[in-house]
């Protein structure tokens, strides 16, 4: 009898162990399948029209007419490249009457302290212009949302990760949206492989690491990777990049009141592409979104203008608004303030500071956060107060 009971208990115990092991195995398989499915869905996000509006999905189709606009033979001011960016990679702002669709609308300053610093430096200027690169979903830790909501600013939000961009579209931001990335050389970048004989671009940067662009999707830490383009690897997506200067030409801007740069390590590379001393801008591109009254006004939509005045210098226009070229030379790029994340810069924050000082910017302050949600320099143009009315 005891033997039977013992044997029966042993059998039940074994059965229990077997059930537990089977349950754990099923959970493991389900988890692995979910992760693989999630990665697969993220890597092929463009195929799903329900994720992004159809007109935005088309922006990620690089099979038509893009190859000839990438590489060392295409300059950043090439009118064809400017036209491509303006017509295919800029989504117009939502009208001011369209309500925001935010996760937490009661939080007006979503930044980690950068926005308040910049607002004070600019004396709470209204109707300014910003560029934010690494814009995430347009709300989470956004450095520019408060300027848009409280001070009537407009600007440009650049975000490469398609999942983040899909979310940003739903926020109804009153700024241009671009599903692209800032190039880390002065050339447009995408999926081109070039002969080994091509070793440097016009600015002297090595091309060997940078012309094979693949963007690693890591939510708030996404960045350009060194992985090969076209690999279809889960968690990586091929995204078109443009030089910073090309964005300015596409928007016909030379003054940016605030430039927020957070690209997880390539900040210095991006800054090195900016022609801060550019004075002869011979090509400008009107995008044609004239309903807002400040872009393309008085010109035919999409028209490329090649104009130089009698002195051989170029004024960008809108001078009656008092925000273009004020206090500087005609055509000069004026970026009044910047916040630049320094923690991932390979050459170190001291080198970054020295580089910006050579370009006429000084560090006003640093913004840091205990959870590493902010590690930014706040730069101010050394002649800022002379520029202010």
Which three-class secondary structure state does DSSP give residue 156?
strand
Using an 8 Å Cβ cutoff, are 249 and 78 in contact?
no
Q: What angle do CA 146, 148, 154 make, to 5 degrees?
A: 145
Q: Report d(CA 335, CA 260) in Å as an integer.
A: 11
Place of tokens 């975000």: 159
Q: Report d(CA 314, CA 27) in Å as an integer.
A: 66
Using an 8 Å Cβ cutoff, are 274 and 360 in contact?
no
E-state strands within 274-333? 283-285, 304-306
Residues 370-387 have pLDDT tens digits of: 776 778 888 888 876 444
Give 86's contacts (C-beta < 8 A, 6+ positions apart).
250, 251, 285, 287, 302
E-state strands within the chain? 129-133, 154-158, 176-178, 181-182, 214-216, 223-225, 236-237, 241-242, 255-261, 283-285, 304-306, 334-341, 361-368, 375-381
Nearest to 250 by CA among 74, 89, 95: 89
Q: Report d(CA 245, CA 82) in Å as an integer.
A: 10
Residues 100-131 have pLDDT tens digits of: 999 999 998 999 888 999 999 888 999 999 99
- Per-residue confidence (pLDDT) for residue 106, from 0 to 100: 94
Q: What is the pTM of this model?
A: 0.67
Low-confidence ranges of the chain (pLDDT < 50): 4-5, 10, 32-50, 191-225, 279-330, 385-389
Q: Where are the domains of the chain?
A: 1-43, 44-387
Q: Report d(CA 50, CA 189) in Å as an integer.
A: 28
């Amino acid at each position: 009898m005891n033997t039977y009971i013992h044997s029966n208990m042993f059998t039940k115990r074994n059965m229990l162990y077997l059930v537990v092991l089977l349950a754990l195995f099923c959970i493991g398989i389900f988890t692995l399948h979910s992760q693989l499915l999630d990665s697969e869905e993220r890597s092929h996000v463009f195929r799903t029209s329900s994720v992004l509006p159809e007109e935005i999905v088309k922006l990620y189709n690089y099979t038509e007419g893009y190859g000839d606009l990438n590489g060392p033979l295409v300059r950043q001011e090439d009118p064809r490249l400017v036209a491509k960016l303006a017509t295919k990679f800029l989504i117009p702002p939502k009208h001011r009457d369209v309500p925001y669709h935010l996760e937490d609308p009661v939080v007006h300053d979503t930044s980690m302290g950068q926005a308040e610093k910049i607002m004070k430096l600019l004396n709470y200027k209204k109707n300014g212009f910003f560029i934010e690169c690494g814009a995430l979903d347009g709300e989470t830790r956004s450095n520019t949302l408060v300027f848009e909501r409280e001070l009537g600013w407009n600007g440009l939000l650049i975000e490469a990760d398609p999942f983040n961009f899909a979310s940003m579209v739903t926020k109804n931001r009153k700024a241009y949206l671009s599903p692209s990335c800032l190039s880390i050389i002065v050339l447009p970048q995408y999926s081109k492989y070039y002969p080994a004989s091509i070793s440097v671009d016009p600015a002297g940067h090595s091309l060997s690491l940078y012309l094979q662009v693949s963007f690693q999707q890591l939510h708030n830490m996404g960045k350009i990777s060194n992985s090969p383009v076209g690999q279809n690897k889960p968690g990586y997506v091929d995204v078109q990049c443009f030089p910073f200067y090309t964005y300015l030409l596409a928007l016909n801007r030379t003054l940016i009141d605030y430039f927020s740069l957070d690209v997880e390590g390539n900040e210095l590379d991006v800054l090195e592409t900016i022609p801060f001393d550019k004075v002869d801008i011979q090509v400008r591109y009107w995008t044609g979104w004239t309903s807002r009254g400040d872009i393309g006004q008085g010109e035919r939509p999409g028209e490329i203008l090649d104009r130089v005045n009698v002195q051989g210098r170029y004024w960008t226009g809108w001078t009656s608004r008092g925000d273009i070229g004020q206090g500087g030379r005609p055509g000069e790029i004026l970026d009044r303030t910047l916040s630049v994340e320094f923690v991932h810069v390979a050459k170190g924050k001291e080198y970054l500071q020295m580089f910006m000082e050579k370009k006429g910017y000084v560090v006003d302050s640093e913004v840091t956060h205990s959870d590493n949600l902010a590690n930014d320099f706040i730069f101010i143009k050394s002649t800022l107060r002379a520029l202010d009315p």
